[in-house]
Amino acid sequence: LFLAACGGSDSTQGNGSASNGEEVATEQTDSKTIRAGIGLNNEHPQYKGLEKFAELVEERTDGSIVVETYHSGQLGDDRSMMEALQLGTQEVTVPSTAPIANFVSEFSVFDFPFLFPNSEVADEVLDGEVGQSFLDKLEDQNLMGLAYWENGFRNLTNSKQPVATQEDFQGLTIRTMENDLHLEAFRALGANPTPMAFTELFTAMQQGTVDGQENPFATIYLEGYYEVQQHVSNTNHIYSPFVFMMSKSFFDSLTEEEQEIVSEAALEAGAYQRELNREANETYLANLQEEGMTYTEISEDERQKMVETVQPVIDKYAENIGTEVVEKVYSAIEAAQ
Which residues sit at the interface with ligand KDG, rule CB under 6 A? 38-40, 46, 78, 95-96, 151, 177, 198, 215, 240
Q: Which is nearer to ligand KDG, 63 or 131 (CB)?
A: 131
Counting Cβ atoms within 10 Å, is residue 301 exposed (0-12), middle (13-18) or buried (19+)?
A: exposed
> With respect to ligand KDG, which residue has the nearer C-beta, 142 or 151?
151
- C-alpha 160/C-alpha 210 separation (Å) is 10
By the 8 A CB rule, do 309 and 188 touch? Answer: yes
Strands 212-215 and 155-158, by their bridges, are: antiparallel
As a whole number of angstroms, the distance between CA 246 and CA 143 comes to 6
Task: Tell which residue, 28, 91, 31, has the closest CA to residue 61.
Answer: 31
Between helix 300-321 and helix 323-336 the angle, nearest 10°, is: 140
CB of 236 to ligand KDG, least distance (A): 14
Instruction: Give strand pairing partners of 152.
Output: 240
Pairing mode, strands 231-233 and 155-158: antiparallel
| Shortest Å distance, C-beta 227 to ligand KDG | 17
Q: Please give the Cα distance from 194 to 187 (Å, whole number).
A: 10
Task: Name beta bridge partners: 66.
Answer: 33
Q: Give 38 or 246: the residue with its C-beta nearer to ligand KDG.
A: 38
Do the Cβ atoms of 165 and 296 come closer than 8 Å? Answer: no
Q: Minimum Å distance from CB 318 to ligand KDG?
A: 23
- Cβ proximity to ligand KDG, 63 vs 99, nearer residue: 99
Residue nearest to ligand KDG (CB): 39
Alpha-carbon span 143 to 324, nearest angstrom = 24
Residue closer to ligand KDG by CB (options 12, 217) is 217
**Minimum distance between the CB of residue 198 and ligand KDG, rounded to whole angstroms?**
3
Query: Any idea what DSSP says for residue 172?
Result: -
> Mapping DSSP to helix (H, G, I), strand (E, B) and coil, where does residue 63 land?
coil
Q: Which is nearer to ligand KDG, 31 or 97 (CB)?
A: 97
Least separation in angstroms between residue 332's CB and ligand KDG is 23
- CB of 333: closest distance to ligand KDG in angstroms? 21
Nearest distance in Å: CB 135, ligand KDG: 17
If the CB atoms of residues 82 and 332 are measured against ligand KDG, the closer one turns out to be 82
